[in-house]
A and B are shown apart, each in its own frame.
Chain A
Amino acid sequence: MTLFLRLFFYAALVLLTTGSVQAETSGWVNASHLKAELVSDHQDVRPGQSFKLALHFIPDEHWHTYWQNPGDSGLATSIEWTLPDGVEAGAIQWPAPLAISVPPLVNYGFEGPTILVSELTIPADFSGSQLQIKAKVDWLVCKEICIPADASFELNLPVTQAAIEARDYKKLFEQASQHQPKVTQLQGRYDVQNQKFSAAIQMPEDLKVSAFFVSAPELVDHAAPQQIDWVDGELLLRQQQNTYFSQALPQFDLVLNTAAGPVLLQLQHESAPQVSPATLASFSLLDWLGMLVLAAAGGLILNLMPCVFPVLSLKALSLVNGQNSAQQTKTEALWYSAGVLLSFVALAAVLLLLRAAGQAAGWGFQLQNPFVVGALAYLLFVLGLSLSGVVQLGLGWMNSGQQLTQKQGHKGSFFTGVLAVVVASPCTAPFMGTALGYAATQPALAALAIFAALGLGMALPFLLLAWWPGLASFLPKPGLWMEKLKQWLAYPLYLSAVWLLWVYGRQQGLDALALALVGLVLIGAACWVWGQQQLQQAGKISGLIAVVLLLGAIALLWYPQPAAQQVAQTDHAEVWSEQRLKQLVQDGQPVLVNMTADWCITCLVNERVALDTDSSKAAMVLYNLRYLKGDWTNKDPAISAYLRQFQRDGVPLYVLYWPGQPPEVLPQILTPDSLRQALEQLSSKQPLITSQ
């Protein structure tokens, strides 16, 4: 036994330097149960080149060294490089590992000759004539017992203008690349939940995977059996979680042993998206002031947005055009600003109320209502038509100078401000996301101030214009060009309407969009009739016709909503709803409820391995089981409430309802037999009386 001790100290003391020998190999270092050398694939190197170095291990028979994840015990081989300035060494390009069983443990490592390749890069401006490479290598070599060792290797390669490959070692490097797993473009996701590691990898063709190796240490219980299934173009992996698992890495390498040899891919971590449950971020004055400035700047920019600009130009025209006194102009600008500001604050107040109600509402939430979207499209179309001259709209904010009495001016200005904000909201979301996201997490007053700043920014050009009439004098004089400009400005409005209709179509479908377009035609007719009447070319009745047409157009927006939940429906599952479940249970039907989400890999694996299988489908038919599936991808509140009934705050959740029995919650990790067994057990407790 002291022999091992001695061996250990001997190994630890091994330190061989090859001095100034100039060669593509360091020469062999003999350590206990293992000899090692460091080899270059080039005998001469040149500046700007990348080349490879191989650490070549030859252990005694049945002795092994370790992979980057050594498994339950052991230690990965590590290399510490000492290189001239600017020369960079890459990470070890590991060969495909073996599972080495040391019951009850399993290690990942290498037996027999092992070649660990690293790539070195010489900068283009490297000036030396010699490249001195020093590597301090630590390894652990084990059979039953383990011997740690370290050794230093040194290579001196001449730096010339022409790189020369080291022919003697070509074969060694070829061997090395043969032993490395083939890098693939396969995409995979993984998660760790309920003591299990699960991964799903897109794999169109079954590569006949026999084993997998995770490079993340302390992730899986290396000795636990690996479950490997290939189902419909997807490879599903499961293994018990490691006792010492602490946190999931964002990504790591995975090696798969396939029928055609080992392959390498990256697994990305995926888990439930983090919802901030109305946690108000701690308030920071500096951040807040910064955000105020940002919001004001954003508001200013909003003036240039296509959905705002046309409306604002109208206002600008009226300011320039008006024969108002400076005082009147100032008052009007103030009224306009008040309209903008109050609208923003009102919207913010609504947002805050919704937030308080616990509803996650993004800005532009009013746009989530298809009716509002359709109505906005109509509104913009009408504004466009008025700019095109089909109809003269309202006396207030559509400039016609003489008619604008002071009182109407105030009201008109105020509501132009309101309109600008309403129209601006579709543009607000993309451009003001940051400030809005910030405001949404701030205390109410701070959030309101942010929105007010947004409004102030938006109103700023008009205030400037009113206070410095000098600026106004820079504006061009009114003339025929204005009419032309006004007509041109109709087109951005039409385009905005088209965009809104597209959104509407996405929400409601093609049929609804067609109806909305019919509505648009009706609006066109209504405006035309109205315009005729304004020109006194039509009788009183035409006003009535216009109103009827307008109402008809709005009525067309009452298109039945498409099915509330568009769940990716599998052939044998129905969409879950509380009513449907209640109804089935009342009818005495056995029901399986499956709560799932797209981002839940455990759910996916369960479905593929245990629910969407032929045997489970057969069991469902046999027991006349109804299968309801709820999709929690977007955190449907109805599903959240259902989960809470079972003290769960996440998916998967499987609940089996058997007539006359309390609902039974199935485990979160299903095996192919879970469902059948549960059904057998329940039916033996309470045989099913089928009315059919």
Chain B
Amino acid sequence: MKLKLALSLSALFFAGSLFAAPQVGQAAPAFNLTDSKGKSHSLADFAGKTVVLEWTNHDCPFVVKHYSGNMQSLQKQFGTDEVVWLTVISSAPGKQGHVTGAKADELTLSRNAMPDAVLFDETGVTGKAYDAKTTPHMYVIDKKGVLQYMGGIDSIASAKVDDIAKATPYFSDALTAVLAGNPANPAVTKPYGCSIKY
């Protein structure tokens, strides 16, 4: 354990990149973001609950693919008291996917989506802390605030709705495992989609 820590510390030191990549099995990066209704949320608020982070951009075709029904049904399926589903928008003002609070609420309503909150990350600080690259990009954080899954929503990188049924639902499998107290397998998968418009 000590060795692992030392290794990851040295990796951190010599990474040469500006931010540390999050790691499954370690504490998820903290955040404090304002939602579409002006209410602020931080990760610490949800201690004791399993947190889902879903990066989105409603104009991204890959998001459109999953909002053809798949994302809504996942939100419904896991919409219990145990799970907090946070949709995060990291698009900078003026870029694709950036919306006002009212627009975000309208999108939630019109798409029959049911996240617990839609969070705005205009500065991209939280997105970069999570190394979020694409929309959609999914994260599962357990009750103790430990990151348990990061990556794609499923296994087939395409913008075609037909592929959803054929794909392995990595995210859904991971969340199910975490809720049952088991580690996600795989816990890290390739995220696919549009680049986040930081």
Q: Using a CB–CB distance below 8 Å, which chain A residues touch chain B?
A: 1, 4-5, 8, 12, 72-75, 102-105, 107, 138, 140, 142, 144-148, 150, 194-196, 217-218, 221, 223-225, 240, 243-244, 246, 647, 667-669, 671
Closest residue to A100 on the B side, CB-wise?
B195
- B144 to chain A minimum Cβ distance, whole angstroms, is 22
**B128 in contact with A104 (CB, 8 Å):** yes
Using Cβ atoms and an 8 Å threshold, which residues of chain B touch A647? 2-3
Using Cβ atoms and an 8 Å threshold, which residues of chain B touch A73? 133-134, 192-195
Which of A218, A224, A669 meets B17, CB within 8 Å?
A224
The CA of A147 and the CA of B96, in the complex, are separated in Å by 12
Using Cβ atoms and an 8 Å threshold, which residues of chain A touch B21? 243
Closest residue to A649 on the B side, CB-wise?
B3
**A72 in contact with B10 (CB, 8 Å):** no
Q: Mark B157-198, 1 if CB is under 8 A from A, else 0.
A: 111100000000000000000000000001011111111111
List 16 additional contacts besides A107-B195, A221-B17, A671-B14; criterion CB under 8 Å: A1-B59, A8-B61, A12-B159, A74-B195, A102-B195, A144-B96, A150-B160, A194-B7, A195-B14, A218-B190, A224-B15, A224-B16, A240-B15, A240-B17, A244-B151, A669-B10
B141 contacts A by Cβ under 8 Å: no
Q: Mark B47-66, 1 if CB is under 8 A from A, else 0.
A: 00000000000111110100
Using Cβ atoms and an 8 Å threshold, which residues of chain B touch A225? 16
Q: What are 30 contact pairs spanning A and B, CB under 8 A? A: A4-B59, A5-B64, A12-B160, A73-B134, A75-B192, A104-B198, A107-B195, A138-B158, A138-B160, A140-B159, A142-B194, A144-B96, A144-B197, A145-B59, A146-B60, A146-B194, A147-B61, A148-B62, A148-B160, A194-B11, A221-B17, A224-B15, A224-B16, A224-B17, A225-B16, A240-B16, A240-B17, A244-B189, A647-B3, A667-B14
**B194 in contact with A145 (CB, 8 Å):** yes
B105 contacts A by Cβ under 8 Å: no
Using Cβ atoms and an 8 Å threshold, which residues of chain B touch A140? 159
Q: Using a CB–CB distance below 8 Å, which chain B residues touch chain A?
A: 2-3, 7, 10-11, 13-18, 21-22, 58-62, 64, 95-96, 128, 131, 133-134, 150-151, 157-160, 186, 188-198
**B11 in contact with A195 (CB, 8 Å):** yes
The CA of A639 and the CA of B128, in the complex, are separated in Å by 42
Using Cβ atoms and an 8 Å threshold, which residues of chain B touch A12? 159-160
Which of A145, A196, A218, A669 meets B96, CB within 8 Å?
A145
The CA of A150 and the CA of B186, in the complex, are separated in Å by 30
**A244 in contact with B61 (CB, 8 Å):** no
The CA of A680 and the CA of B197, in the complex, are separated in Å by 44
The CA of A194 and the CA of B134, in the complex, are separated in Å by 25
The CA of A147 and the CA of B65, in the complex, are separated in Å by 12
Using Cβ atoms and an 8 Å threshold, which residues of chain A touch B95? 144
- A460 to chain B minimum Cβ distance, whole angstroms, is 53
How many cross-chain pairs have Cβ atoms below 8 Å apart between A and B?
100
- A63 to chain B minimum Cβ distance, whole angstroms, is 14
Most B CB atoms within 10 A — which of A8, A103, A217?
A8
- B2 to chain A minimum Cβ distance, whole angstroms, is 8
Q: A194-B11, A195-B15, A218-B190 are in contact. Are A75 and B96 (CB under 8 A)?
A: no
The CA of A138 and the CA of B160, in the complex, are separated in Å by 10
Using Cβ atoms and an 8 Å threshold, which residues of chain B touch A224? 15-17
The CA of A150 and the CA of B17, in the complex, are separated in Å by 36
- B23 to chain A minimum Cβ distance, whole angstroms, is 9
**B133 in contact with A72 (CB, 8 Å):** yes
Using Cβ atoms and an 8 Å threshold, which residues of chain B touch A74? 195
What are the 3 closest A-B residue pairs judged by CB atoms, nearest first? A148-B159, A73-B195, A195-B11
Using Cβ atoms and an 8 Å threshold, which residues of chain B touch A104? 18, 128, 198
Closest residue to A73 on the B side, CB-wise?
B195
- B121 to chain A minimum Cβ distance, whole angstroms, is 13
Which of A105, A148, A194, A246 meets B133, CB within 8 Å?
A105
**A194 in contact with B59 (CB, 8 Å):** no
**B59 in contact with A5 (CB, 8 Å):** yes
Closest residue to A8 on the B side, CB-wise?
B61
- A263 to chain B minimum Cβ distance, whole angstroms, is 26
Q: A72-B133, A73-B195 are in contact. Are A148 and B61 (CB under 8 A)?
A: yes
- A492 to chain B minimum Cβ distance, whole angstroms, is 56
- B19 to chain A minimum Cβ distance, whole angstroms, is 9
**B190 in contact with A244 (CB, 8 Å):** yes
The CA of A150 and the CA of B162, in the complex, are separated in Å by 13
Which of B2, B7, B158 meets A75, CB within 8 Å?
B158
Using Cβ atoms and an 8 Å threshold, which residues of chain A touch B131? 243
Using Cβ atoms and an 8 Å threshold, which residues of chain A touch B17? 221, 223-224, 240
**A246 in contact with B186 (CB, 8 Å):** yes
- B146 to chain A minimum Cβ distance, whole angstroms, is 17
The CA of A647 and the CA of B1, in the complex, are separated in Å by 11
**A244 in contact with B191 (CB, 8 Å):** yes
Closest residue to B59 on the A side, CB-wise?
A4
The CA of A5 and the CA of B192, in the complex, are separated in Å by 19
Closest residue to B12 on the A side, CB-wise?
A195
Q: A74-B195, A138-B158, A244-B188 are in contact. Are A146 and B61 (CB under 8 A)?
A: yes
Using Cβ atoms and an 8 Å threshold, which residues of chain A touch B59? 1, 4-5, 145
- A248 to chain B minimum Cβ distance, whole angstroms, is 15
The CA of A72 and the CA of B14, in the complex, are separated in Å by 21
The CA of A115 and the CA of B116, in the complex, are separated in Å by 47
Which of A145, A223, A669 meets B14, CB within 8 Å?
A669
Q: A5-B59, A244-B188, A244-B191 are in contact. Are A668 and B133 (CB under 8 A)?
A: no
- A647 to chain B minimum Cβ distance, whole angstroms, is 5
Using Cβ atoms and an 8 Å threshold, which residues of chain A touch B10? 194, 667-669
Closest residue to A221 on the B side, CB-wise?
B17
Using Cβ atoms and an 8 Å threshold, which residues of chain B touch A75? 157-159, 192
Which of B7, B96, B158, B196 meets A148, CB within 8 Å?
B158
Using Cβ atoms and an 8 Å threshold, which residues of chain A touch B157? 75
Using Cβ atoms and an 8 Å threshold, which residues of chain B touch A244? 151, 188-191
- A383 to chain B minimum Cβ distance, whole angstroms, is 57
Q: A105-B195, A246-B188 are in contact. Are A667 and B60 (CB under 8 A)?
A: no
Using Cβ atoms and an 8 Å threshold, which residues of chain A touch B196? 105
The CA of A244 and the CA of B21, in the complex, are separated in Å by 10
The CA of A580 and the CA of B7, in the complex, are separated in Å by 29
Closest residue to B131 on the A side, CB-wise?
A243
**A667 in contact with B195 (CB, 8 Å):** no
Using Cβ atoms and an 8 Å threshold, which residues of chain B touch A105? 133, 195-196
- A193 to chain B minimum Cβ distance, whole angstroms, is 10
The CA of A4 and the CA of B57, in the complex, are separated in Å by 12
- B58 to chain A minimum Cβ distance, whole angstroms, is 8
- B77 to chain A minimum Cβ distance, whole angstroms, is 25
The CA of A667 and the CA of B22, in the complex, are separated in Å by 21
Using Cβ atoms and an 8 Å threshold, which residues of chain B touch A246? 186, 188-189
The CA of A243 and the CA of B13, in the complex, are separated in Å by 16
Using Cβ atoms and an 8 Å threshold, which residues of chain A touch B7? 194
Closest residue to B197 on the A side, CB-wise?
A144
Most B CB atoms within 10 A — which of A8, A73, A669?
A73
Most B CB atoms within 10 A — which of A1, A145, A218, A223?
A145
- B86 to chain A minimum Cβ distance, whole angstroms, is 20
The CA of A500 and the CA of B148, in the complex, are separated in Å by 60
Closest residue to A243 on the B side, CB-wise?
B21
The CA of A194 and the CA of B15, in the complex, are separated in Å by 10
- B6 to chain A minimum Cβ distance, whole angstroms, is 9
- A653 to chain B minimum Cβ distance, whole angstroms, is 12
Closest residue to A223 on the B side, CB-wise?
B17
- B95 to chain A minimum Cβ distance, whole angstroms, is 7
**A72 in contact with B195 (CB, 8 Å):** yes
Most B CB atoms within 10 A — which of A5, A146, A246, A669?
A146
The CA of A488 and the CA of B175, in the complex, are separated in Å by 79
- B7 to chain A minimum Cβ distance, whole angstroms, is 7
